Amino acid sequence: MSDLTATLGIRTPILLGAFGGLSSIPLTTAVSELGGLGAYGLYGYDGDRIRSTIADLRAATARPFAVNIWLPTGDEAAPGPQHTTFALALEPFYSAVGVEMPQRPERYLPPLGEQVDAILEARPAVLSVVYGVPSAELVSAAHERGIRVVGTATTVAEAVALDDAGIDAIIASGAEAAGHRVSFLRAAEDSLVGTFSLVPQVVDAVRAPVIAAGGIADRRGVAAAFALGATGVQVGTAFLATRESAANDAHRDAIRRTAADETVLTRAMSGRLSRGVRNRAVRAIEAGGLTAPFPAQNWLTGRFRAPAGEQGLGELQSLWVGQSAPLAVRDRAEEVFAELAAGLPSSPAR
Q: Domain locations in the chain?
A: 3-341
Q: pLDDT tens digits, the chain, 350 residues: what are they?
A: 458 999 999 999 999 999 988 999 999 999 999 999 999 999 999 999 999 999 999 999 999 999 999 999 999 999 999 999 999 999 999 999 999 999 999 999 999 999 999 999 999 999 999 999 999 999 999 999 999 999 999 999 999 999 999 999 999 999 999 999 999 999 999 999 999 999 999 999 999 999 999 999 999 999 999 999 999 999 999 999 999 999 999 999 999 999 999 999 999 999 999 999 999 999 999 999 899 999 999 999 999 999 999 999 999 999 999 999 999 999 999 999 999 999 999 754 43
Residue 3's pLDDT is 86
Residue 2's pLDDT is 56
Rounded to 10°, the helix 195-205/156-164 angle is 30
CATH superfamily of the domain spanning 3-341: Aldolase class I (3.20.20.70)
Cα separation, 154 vs 172, whole angstroms: 6
What phi and psi values does residue 302 have, to the nearest 5 degrees? -60, -25
Determine contact, residues 53/42, Cβ cutoff 8 Å: yes
| Bridge partners (DSSP) listed for residue 265 | 275
The C-alpha torsion from 40 through 185 and 210 to 137, rounded to 10°, is -70
- Strands 126-130 and 232-235, by their bridges, are unpaired
Residue 320's pLDDT is 96
Residue 348's pLDDT is 47
pTM for this one?
A: 0.95
Nearest one of 61, 68, 82, 4 to 40, comparing CA atoms = 68
Cα separation, 42 vs 7, whole angstroms: 22
For the range 187-192, what are the long-range contacts, defined as Cβ-Cβ under 8 Å and sequence gap of 24 or more?
Answer: 188/154, 188/265, 188/272, 188/273, 189/265, 189/273, 191/154, 191/155, 191/158, 192/154, 192/265
Residue 21's pLDDT is 87
Residue 136's pLDDT is 98
60 burial (CB, 10 Å; 0-12 / 13-18 / 19+) is: middle
DSSP string, 19-30: -TTT--HHHHHH
What phi and psi values does residue 170 have, to the nearest 5 degrees? -125, 130
Cα separation, 93 vs 316, whole angstroms: 7
Determine contact, residues 208/172, Cβ cutoff 8 Å: no
- Strands 38-41 and 65-70, by their bridges, are parallel
221 burial (CB, 10 Å; 0-12 / 13-18 / 19+) is: buried
Cα separation, 243 vs 114, whole angstroms: 32
